[in-house]
Amino acid sequence: MKKLSVAVAICAALATSYASAEVRINGFASIVGGKSLDSDQTLYGYDDDISFKNESVFAVQLSADLQEKLSATAQIVARGENDFDADFEWAYLTYEFSDELQLSAGKMRAPFYKYSDFLDVGYTYRWVRPPQSVYNLPFSTYEGLSLLYSSQIGDWDSSLQVIYGSFDDNIAVVSVNGDTELNDIAGLNWSLSYDWFSARVAYFVAETTIAIENDTDAGIALNGLEATLRNSGFTEQADSIAVNEDDGAFFAMGFSIDYNNILFDAEYTQFEVDDSALAEQTQYYTSLGYRMDEWLVHVTYENNDDKHDSNRYDSLTAVPPLNEGINSALEGSKAKSNVYTIGARYDFHPSAAFKIDFSRLDDDITDTETDVVAVGVDLVF
């Protein structure tokens, strides 16, 4: 109901102001098809049967200038993975105190990454999809406030964004699924740019609660282990497995170069929930591209490493069965992989681009390789 009320409020503002406000309607779409080249492996939701639903997206964005420095924005997105059911991705109001300072309130994109604001607009980046080793948080929006301050620091353009809000939904986190509540989300995103170089750093914290479901092997193992620990009197260790009002933190940094025909992007992120069974995640990617008129070719390397401190539960070594059980459960939530992607983009129209990517994932935990090829057309209108 909370999410619905936000969307209804923004739509009401758009509707009631239509007669006196300038309303702009824009849209974007991605039609993407892909398949795994391995009969027994899946990647990015693809198996060995070609699918055009998994990553396809259609969206419409409405923006209204309500005058007196107030504006409203709503974005409705239909994703193929959700059978193209339309949802409000954004719904917020913005007040401009000045040309440099503005405050927004409602449902907005969380600025975790360089391409967060354009996460669904495939036309704005060179890949079929952004590097998933880094762009892997299972949610991208929040409800709350955003304060944005744009300025000049010498010859540098500076953009500092501070956010505060919350998130509540059923999502997959690391290797488990469950109803997730993130309260008191707070943090900042600072970007600097000068000519052909730009850099950014971001840091966010949140009070994290996840009701882990028994629908994955890791979820079953962790829930069973927590119950066993509580029944055996190890309350402190059980609390350190449960994700209940624990402190979560997300850190990101990166830089980009756009010099003549050479493009380079690199981003590094780290995510951790203290006193929980969730693995600490660290990941990064580097990507090099080269423009040739309407063509752009690129190569990308990604690295992902989810791990636990092996000494966290040393107090259980006196009880071998419990110690073995917890180590086994934690092993199930580890991940270590590399992804190599080569691809090309062809801008065949002023508002549309054709893309093709080939990606290979090397999983160091299972010692397997998975290849996926995807083609798509991205457009804006």
d(CA 323, CA 159): 48
Tell me what the mean pLDDT of segment 71-87 comes to: 95
In the chain, % of residues over pLDDT 90: 70
Q: What is the pLDDT of residue 71?
A: 97
Q: How many domains does the chain have?
A: 1
Verdict on whether the full-model pTM lies above 0.75: yes
**182 neighbors 208 (Cβ within 8 angstroms):** yes
Tell me what the mean pLDDT of segment 32-54 comes to: 94
> Which range, 177-181, 290-294, 364-368, has the best average confidence (pLDDT)?
290-294
Tokens for 325? 């059980």
The mean pLDDT of the chain is: 89
* CATH number of the domain enclosing 160: 2.40.160.10
**163 neighbors 110 (Cβ within 8 angstroms):** yes
Q: What is the pLDDT of residue 220?
A: 76
DSSP element (H, E) containing 98 = none
Q: What is the pLDDT of residue 4?
A: 47
Q: What is the pLDDT of residue 1?
A: 40
Tokens 């309130």, located at residue: 105
| Alpha carbon separation from 65 to 75, 100, 133 (Å, rounded) | 15, 17, 38
Residue ranges making up the domain that contains 264: 2-380
d(CA 148, CA 355): 33
User: In 3-state terms, the chain is what percent helix, strand and coil (to 5)?
Assistant: 15, 55, 25
pLDDT in tens, 137-176: 989 999 999 999 999 999 999 999 999 999 999 887 766 7
- Bridge-partner residues for 298, per DSSP? 289, 343
d(CA 55, CA 232): 46
pLDDT in tens, 307-363: 776 555 555 555 666 666 666 666 666 789 999 999 999 999 999 999 999 999 999
Tell me what the mean pLDDT of segment 203-227 comes to: 83
Closest to 122 in 3D by CA, of 259, 27, 196, 45: 27
